[in-house]
Amino acid sequence: DTGYTVYDTGYKNSASCCSTITYLDGDRGILRYRGYNIEDLASRCLFIEVAYLLLHNKLPNRVELENFRTMLEEHALIHEDMVHFLDKFPPHASPMSILSVMVNSLHNFYPEMSADPLENIDLTASRLISKIRTIAAFSYKKSIGQPLVYPRNDLSYCGNFLNMMFDTPVRPYIVLPEIVAALNKLLILHADHEQNCSTSAVRLVGSSGGNLYSSISAGINALWGPLHGGANEAVIHMLEAIHKDNNNYKKYIAKAKDRRDPFRLSGFGHRVYRTFDPRGTIIKDACDGILTILNFEDPLMDIARNLEEIVLNDPYFVSRNLYPNIDFYSGIIYRALGIPTNMFTVMFALGRLPGWIAQWKEMREDPETKIYRPRQIYIGSPAREFVPLGQRT
Ligand code: SDX
C-alpha cells in the first residue's frame, strides 16, 4: 500500500546463507562448532585443534596436529619491511587499526598466498593465524616503547603470544601453564559464531573475488565497533566508571534504559541469544580460577557480578531477554593476564580468525555463491522533472 515495489531478494542475493560450520540455538543457549559442543571444545582442546576443526570439519589426529603446529611455527615471523612499516604508526595508534592495515598489507608481502589461497588451506591459514599473533604482539610492544620480542619455536601458540607480549631483556617472562590454558580457552570461545557482523563482512568482501587478506581486514574493521567485538573494551570502561562513581549502579541502570544511547549496557544483549550466552557463562566460571591462581584482586569482578544480578532481576531487561554475552566477563580475564584494555578487541580478532578463514573458504568453495548484493525497499522521492539551476528556489 506504500506504492513501492518490494523486490524478492532471494537468499543468494542477500547476506543470509547456509553453512556447515557453526550451529547456534539462541533460545536454548547452545553453541556447536562442526557439531561439537562449545563446552567440550573449550575444556578439552587447544586453540590450534579447534582452528583445524573449523577449517577441516574434523578434529586433527596427532600427525595432523603436529603438521599444523609446525606450519604455525614456520610462519611466525613477518617480513622485516613490515616491522619498519609498523614503526611509522604514531605511538597512540589503535591496535585494531594497525591490525587491519598490517593484515591487508600481507597481500603485498606474500602475493603468492593470494594466488589461490584454497589450494593449500593449511598453508594459507597457518600463515595468517601465526602472523596475526606476531603483528598483535609487536603492535603492543611498539605502543609501550619496548623492544620487539620475536616468536620462539619452543613455545606453544598461546605461550609464544604471551612471551612476545610480556618478555623483556631485563626480566624474562615466565610462561605459566595456567595462563596458557586460560588463553587457549578464551581464543576457542571466540573462534566462530556463524553469520555475525564481522564474519558477514569477510564473506561479503570475499564474494566479490576480493583476496583473503582484504576480506579478513574488513572483518577486523567490522569487529572493532563497540556494538560488536569492541564491547569487551566498552564493558571495562563502563565497570570502571561505576567503580569511580562509588558503585552508583542506579545511575548506570537508568542510563541503560535510555534508548537514544546505542552503547548502553555493554556486555548485555545479543542478536541471537535470548538466554545466557554459553561462552559468557564459561568465561565467568573461569574468572574465579584465574583470579585466584594469579592472586589478582579485581574490584571490577564484584561490580560485574552485582551489575549482572541487578540486570537479571530488573523487569525492563528481563522483558527484553537481555543476558550477559561473551564480552561481559572476558575483559576481566584479559586484565588478569596483564593484557591492556586497548588490546581486548585484538584478542577477539586473534580468536575469531580461524572462523573467518573457514567461513571465507566455505563461501568461495560454494559453486552457488554469487556476489553479495542485499536489496532495499526504496522509500525516497517518486520520479520528478529536472529543474535547471536558474529556476531552483
Ligand atoms: C558480539 O552476532 C554475534 O554473534 C556477535 C558476537 C560474536 O561472537 O560474533 O556474539 C559478538 O558482538 C556480542 C554483542 C556485544 N555487544 C554488546 O555487548 C553491546 C551492547 N549490546 C547491545 O548493543 C545489543 O544488545 C546488540 C547490539 C548486541 C543487539 O542489539 P539489538 O539486536 O538491537 O537487540 P534486540 O533487538 O535484542 O533489542 C531488544 C530490546 C530493544 O529495546 P526496545 O526497542 O524493544 O525497547 O532490548 C534493547 C533494545 O533497545 N537492548 C538493550 C541492550 N541491548 C538491546 N537495552 C539496553 N542495553 C543493551 N545492551
Residue 269: left (phi > 0), alpha (psi -120 to 50), or beta? left
Q: Which of 24, 283, 320, 353 to mutate to test the pocket of ligand 1 (most atoms within 8 A of CB)?
A: 320
ipTM, two decimals? 0.98
Q: Ligand 1 within 6 A of 259 CB? A: yes
Ligand 1 geometric centre to CA of 262 (Å): 9
Which tens digit of pLDDT belongs to each residue from 332-367?
999 999 999 999 999 999 999 999 999 999 999 999
The answer to whether residues 326 and 318 touch, using CB atoms and an 8 Å cutoff, is: no
Residue owning the nearest CA to atom 32 of ligand 1? 271
Residue 252: phi and psi, rounded to 5, are -80, -30
Residues contacting 179, CB < 8 A, separation 6+: 162, 290, 293, 294, 337
Measured at the CA of 354, the angle between CA 333 and CA 75, to 5 degrees, comes to 100
pLDDT for res 7: 41
Q: What is the C-alpha separation between 231 and 327, in angstroms, rounded?
A: 6
Atom of ligand 1 nearest to the CA of 267: 18
Find the 62 Cα to ligand 1 centroid distance in Å. Answer: 41
Q: Give helix 344-365 / helix 231-244 axis angle, nearest 10°.
A: 160
Burial 279-294 (b: 16+ CB within 10 A, else e): bbbbbbebbeebbeeb
Rounded CA gap, 361 and 55, in Å? 8
What separation in Å is there between the alpha carbon of 334 and the centre of ligand 1?
A: 22
Instruction: Report the percent of the chain where pLDDT is more than 70.
Output: 95
**Structure confidence by residue, pLDDT tens digits, 3-56:** 444 444 344 444 468 999 999 999 999 999 999 999 999 999 999 999 999 999
Q: What does the pLDDT average to over 88-115?
A: 90
Name the DSSP class of 211. -
Contact 156, 180 (CB under 8 A): yes
Q: Which residues contact 389 (CB under 8 A, 6 or more apart)?
A: none
- Give the closest residue to 300 by CA, choosing from 340, 339, 328: 328
Cα(184)–Cα(50) distance, integer angstroms: 10
* Ligand 1 binding pocket includes 311 (Cβ within 6 Å): no
Cell of 151: 616468536
**CB burial class (10 A; 0-12, 13-18, 19+) of residue 27?**
exposed
Task: Please identify which residue in the block is written with the cell numbers 586473534.
Answer: 350
List Cβ neighbours of 125 (8 Å cut-off, separation of 6 or more): 51, 55, 354, 357
How does 165-185 read in b/e, with b if 16+ C-beta sit within 10 Å? bbbeeeeeeebeeebbbbbbb
Euclidean distance between the first and the last CA atom of the chain, given in angstroms as a whole number: 32
pTM of the model: 0.94
> Is 327 assigned a catalytic role?
yes
Altogether, the residues listed in the chain come to a count of: 393
Segment 226-251 shows an average pLDDT of 95
Quick one: average pLDDT of 106-122? 81
Please work out whether the CB of residue 31 comes within 6 Å of at least one atom of ligand 1.
Answer: no
Report the C-alpha gap between 260 and 258 in whole angstroms: 5
What pLDDT is attached to residue 16? 62
| pLDDT value of residue 12 | 45
